[in-house]
Amino acid sequence: MVKNKKLLEEFENDFVKKYKIDIERKLKIYEELLNLALKLGKFKNENLLEGIEYDIKYARAINGVKRTD
């Protein structure tokens, strides 16, 4: 739980200024992490969104979130 929101925001702003990473670097990091996960077999389906409906229903059930649609 965040007790001092202003202090956290200042920290985040300073962190972003100090450790600037461009979009190309962010995408490269993402792609490398995705490739590692695929090599480790963490994603079993070629279609990563396959079965997402079940995951959403499960997450709602365990978190007690009611549907709004």
Q: Where are the domains of the chain?
A: 5-63
Q: Amino acid identity, residue 50?
A: E
* Residue 32 confidence (pLDDT): 94
pLDDT tens for each residue of 15-68: 888 887 788 888 899 999 988 988 888 876 667 777 888 888 888 888 886 666
- CA dist 2 and 63 (Å) reads 21
- CA dist 60 and 23 (Å) reads 32
- CA dist 40 and 14 (Å) reads 35
- CA dist 53 and 56 (Å) reads 5
According to DSSP, residue 40 is labeled T
* Residue 5 confidence (pLDDT): 87
Q: Amino acid identity, residue 43?
A: F
* Residue 49 confidence (pLDDT): 76
Q: How confident is the model at residue 12 (pLDDT cuts 50, 70, 90)?
A: confident
